[in-house]
Chains A and B, each alone.
Chain A
Amino acid sequence: MSDEEVIGIINARIAEEFELDPDMMVAQALLYDDLGLDSLDRVDIVILLEQAFKFKIREEEAIREIRTLGDIHGFVINKVRSLSEGQGA
């Protein structure tokens, strides 16, 4: 799966779940201030990502550092890469 595909899936799932305008889904968008999400929505995003990409991430420390949509993109891209490398090894 390419990075663009990963980003497309993330943006589509979050926009659909939280009824956000697709035009708002830019990497620099702050989850709270720009997208109007709250602390529970962050938890829900983790559930959405786990369902979309079939991995478990809720216990990972790096999730707590996420502030922007771009942080989510980067986190998931790295996760998908590390999982595919692990499967290839």
Chain B
Amino acid sequence: MPDGRPLHSLIMNLLVYPLIALWTLAGILAFPFLYAFWKIFVNADRSRIMRLFVWVYGRGWMAIMSPFVTFRRDGFDQITASAPYVIVVNHLSFFDFYCMALLPFDNVAAAVRSWPFRMPWYGPFMRLAGYLDVESLGWKGTLAKGAETLSEGGSIVFFPEGHRSRDGKLHRFMSGPFRLSVETGVKVLPLCLTGTDVLLPPGRWWISPARICLTALPPVDPKSFDGPSAHLKLRKFIQAMMARKINSMRDE
């Protein structure tokens, strides 16, 4: 059990996990009816509907967490909600993607490894939402499907470190998201996340009260970088600006 307020943490764990399970079950049971309703009356695209549902599910998760976790977002006043972005976020916790419900738009797919697709309560919905299984698709397939998603107006979230950081520091970035940005001309939206490593760091199962902050940095236009190594320059530029911001957020 964590240090600090052990009773508070115990109550949090006893309440939050069952509520998340209930919220997930309710979502699964309600899904066919909600999907049919949206399809018939709104006539939206399948993946578009699913991304909205996932965003709403994330907002529900935030509501469940809210007695114990504070959520804050900064920098989103400079974001164009209708524009697609290649979104890159630092990775600290299993719950990082849930925090994408803090985004002011919901048409968001994720590019992740294969294992989340194998969770029976999430995997089918991830596929319906058009999420990208980077390991199964390979980078070539991921870039092709990613370009298709962006051309349809959807943004894509990448965790460019590939793994959760175990020391809170920003680690090496894979170049895939930046190559996608250069190839499509779609801006990169860097997001800096803090606090989820306090909530649930890697290697632990109990959760702890936390203050989560998601900060958007100004979107970066890939056209500012040229040459055959444009994506590498873009990657280094964004990694450096995120590292600076995360350090300053931790010092606050």
Q: Which of A19, A47, A50 contacts B232 (CB 8 A)?
A: A47
Q: Does B175 contact A (CB under 8 A)?
A: yes
Contact B140 A39 (CB under 8 A): yes
Q: Does B114 contact A (CB under 8 A)?
A: no
Contact B174 A38 (CB under 8 A): yes
- Nearest neighbor of B172 in chain A, beta-carbon distance: A19
Q: Which of B171, B172, B176, B228 contacts A40 (CB 8 A)?
A: B176
Q: Does B179 contact A (CB under 8 A)?
A: yes
Residues of A within 8 A of B4 (CB): none
Contact A40 B179 (CB under 8 A): yes
Q: Which of A38, A41, A47 contacts B228 (CB 8 A)?
A: A47
- Total chain A interface residues with beta-carbon distance under 8 A: 12
Contact B229 A47 (CB under 8 A): yes
CA distance A47 to B172 in the complex (A): 18
Contact B232 A44 (CB under 8 A): yes
Residues of B within 8 A of A50 (CB): 228
The distance from the CB of B247 to the nearest CB of chain A, in whole angstroms, is 17
Q: Does A51 contact B (CB under 8 A)?
A: yes
The distance from the CB of A37 to the nearest CB of chain B, in whole angstroms, is 9
A-B interface contact total, Cβ < 8 Å? 27
Size category, B interface:
10 to 19
Per-residue interface assignment for chain B, residues 70 to 107, with 1 indicating a CB less than 8 Å from any chain A CB and 0 otherwise: 00000000000000000000000000000000000000
* Residues 174-209 of B contacting A (Cβ, < 8 Å): 174-176, 179
Q: Does A17 contact B (CB under 8 A)?
A: yes
Q: Does A18 contact B (CB under 8 A)?
A: yes
Contact A40 B229 (CB under 8 A): no
Residues of B within 8 A of A51 (CB): 229
Residues of A within 8 A of B174 (CB): 38, 40-41
Contact B139 A39 (CB under 8 A): yes
* Residues 1-52 of A contacting B (Cβ, < 8 Å): 17-19, 38-41, 44, 47-48, 50-51
CA distance A65 to B108 in the complex (A): 38
Of residues A18, A44, A47, which shows the largest number of chain B Cβ atoms within 10 Å of its Cβ?
Answer: A44
* Residues 45-84 of A contacting B (Cβ, < 8 Å): 47-48, 50-51
- Nearest neighbor of B174 in chain A, beta-carbon distance: A38
Q: Does B32 contact A (CB under 8 A)?
A: no
Residues of A within 8 A of B140 (CB): 39
Q: Does B18 contact A (CB under 8 A)?
A: no
Q: Does B67 contact A (CB under 8 A)?
A: no
Contact A40 B232 (CB under 8 A): no
Of residues A18, A40, A41, A48, which shows the largest number of chain B Cβ atoms within 10 Å of its Cβ?
Answer: A40
* Residues 33-50 of B contacting A (Cβ, < 8 Å): none
Q: Could you give 14 example pairs across A and B, Cβ below 8 Å?
A: A19-B172, A38-B174, A38-B176, A40-B175, A40-B179, A41-B175, A44-B175, A44-B229, A44-B232, A47-B228, A47-B229, A48-B229, A50-B228, A51-B229
A→B interface (CB under 8 Å): 17-19, 38-41, 44, 47-48, 50-51
